[in-house]
Structure 1
Amino acid sequence: MMKTLIVGASGTTGKHLVEQFLAARKEVKIIVRPTAKIPEFWHQNELVQIIHGNISEMKVDEMNEIISDCDSFASCLGHNLTFKGIFGKPRKLVADAVQLICDAISKNNPEQAVKFVLMNTVGNQNRDINEPISTAQKIVIALIRLLVPPQADNEKAADFLRIKVDQKDSNIEWVAVRPDALINEKSVTDYSLHPSPIRSAIFNPGETSRINVAHFMAQLILDDDLWNEWKGQMPVIYNE
């Protein structure tokens, strides 16, 4: 059975995503920092293969070996909400990881296209389609992009999939999931999916629970019909 590689698995959403796959009896391979805190029972679970390392220090050949038995990929990578996490290095943690994995996939040249699901943000526009936003919001987003490095990192990560991988890559199909303001909930609840935001991410934000994001990301990989509905797009997810 092929596996799903999950990066960012030690984060709050990433942990939920691993749990979604384990509930579905799907094997996962996770890359976590040596100092990352993960549930103890993962170490004993035959469905979880744990690789300790810093993805920002990995090379293509190393990643190529890691992904040799994977047919799907999910990134919940993000920057820690600390001063060092927001303003320190690596500034392009998410974008560089996406490129590294995609380069390794291309080098591996899989027989069938693999699935890549990226957790992104509703603060990032899908520039493949016309997503009108107010001048005021454009100004605020521009300031955030200038002053808060993770915003630019998220944009570059999605742009790599949108522009470099595009819709024509024979090796990789992708979806970039855009939640609004993230909150914590203990269980999956009803949520809605939209091709574009239906409210202002800055002036009228909605809420999205991390476990709902994880549920949708897992279902994209597990459900081919859902995948075919959203591949090559940047769906926005809101709690109902």
Structure 2
Amino acid sequence: MKIAVFGASGATGRLLVKQLLDDGHQVRILVRSADSLPDFLKNQENLSVKEAAISELSDADLEQFVSTCDALASCLGHNLTWKGIYGKPRRLVTDATRRLCQAVKANGSGKPIKFVLMNTTGNRNRDLEEAISFGQKCVIGLLRLLLPPHVDNEQAADYLRTQIGQNNKAIEWAAVRPDGLVDHENVSPYEIHPSPTRSAIFNAGQTSRINVGHFMADLITDENTWAIWKGKMPVIYNRTTAESTIE
């Protein structure tokens, strides 16, 4: 498969790219600087690197970049700095999601292209009646006011749910929701759920970044997995922390 990955220099994105390359796929990535890539992604035969920010590309350039791709994956996120959280672009993930979907439509490949978005358990799937406590509702409300990246994550997933929907002929999508992200060296057992099984605010679990990359790669490349989760917002936990119930 030919897959374009955005946010490939990030802590999770680089692991997704490595997983796809290890599985023998052709991957193209867009990064501000190739120097930011880890050594294990340099000089890879099946990896094509373009140096630019997605906001710097014209619509025509973006259409060209994703042309002939079978799938797109976004691990874009905001840097955890004052500028990254409160500076521009405040709608990095949402704008990228919208523009990528428009690029896919403009290309008109004649077959549905997969789009996998990395999201967060702090964002509810509004297609389902996901119960959260009053306290969590209050905290989420504060996050919307104080942390622009949270709103960005919500709006990006909402774009897929409401603007792309379930029956789009050009794009099929899934939004992966990890809980508290941690760094592990190897893929470990993990569990996938339609909705959170614990509170993202008051009883957060853990999800290793390498497991997120593994699951996103599986979604893209395995048709059985895709058939289960397309058009949905699966939640991923490391198995050892997935037993508590939501509070």
Relative to the length of structure 2, the TM-score reads: 0.95
Query: Which amino acid letter does the alignment assign opposite residue 186 of structure 1?
Result: E
For residues 169-212 of structure 1, give each alpha carbon's deviation from its aligned partner in whole angstroms, at most 9, with x where no partner exists.
Answer: 10000000000000000000000000000000000000000000
Paired with 1:36 and 1:151, the residues of 2 have a C-alpha distance of 29
Pair 1:29 & 2:25 matched: no
Does the aligned pair in 1 maintain the 2:192–2:236 contact within 8 Å?
yes
For residues 35-92 of structure 1, give each alpha carbon's deviation from its aligned partner in whole angstroms, at most 9, with x where no partner exists.
Answer: 7510245342110000100112222211111111211000000001111111111000
Aligned to 2:114: 115
Q: From the superposition, tell whether residues 234 and 70 of structure 1 become closer, same or farther in structure 2 (CA, over 3 Å).
A: same
Residue pairs, 1:219-230, within 5 angstroms: 219-230=218-229
Paired with 2:83 and 2:55, the residues of 1 have a C-alpha distance of 16
Query: Share of identical aligned residues, percent?
Result: 53
Aligned to 1:192: 191
Does the aligned pair in 2 maintain the 1:60–1:101 contact within 8 Å?
no
Query: Which amino acid letter does the alignment assign opposite residue 61 of structure 1?
Result: A
Does the aligned pair in 2 maintain the 1:6–1:75 contact within 8 Å?
yes
Paired with 2:57 and 2:98, the residues of 1 have a C-alpha distance of 12
Paired with 1:39 and 1:213, the residues of 2 have a C-alpha distance of 18
Query: Which amino acid letter does the alignment assign opposite residue 22 of structure 1?
Result: L
Residue pairs, 1:148-167, within 5 angstroms: 148-167=147-166
Corresponding residue SS for 1:95? helix
Aligned to 2:123: 124
Residue pairs, 1:23-172, within 5 angstroms: 23-34=22-33, 37-40=36-39, 42-172=41-171
Q: From the superposition, tell whether residues 195 and 25 of structure 1 become closer, same or farther in structure 2 (CA, over 3 Å).
A: same
More displaced, 230-239 or 59-68? 59-68
For residues 118-152 of structure 1, give each alpha carbon's deviation from its aligned partner in whole angstroms, at most 9, with x where no partner exists.
Answer: 00000000001110111110110010111001000
Query: Which amino acid letter does the alignment assign opposite residue 107 of structure 1?
Result: A
More displaced, 101-110 or 27-36? 27-36
Query: Which amino acid letter does the alignment assign opposite residue 130 of structure 1?
Result: E
More displaced, 96-105 or 29-38? 29-38
- Consecutive unaligned residues in structure 1, runs of 5 or more: none
Does the aligned pair in 2 maintain the 1:59–1:100 contact within 8 Å?
no
Does the aligned pair in 1 maintain the 2:194–2:235 contact within 8 Å?
yes
Does the aligned pair in 2 maintain the 1:115–1:174 contact within 8 Å?
yes
Pair 1:183 & 2:182 matched: yes
Relative to the length of structure 1, the TM-score reads: 0.97
- Runs of 4+ aligned structure 1 residues displaced above 4 Å come to none
Corresponding residue SS for 1:70? coil
**What root-mean-square deviation, in Å, do the aligned CA atoms of Structure 1 and Structure 2 show?**
1.0
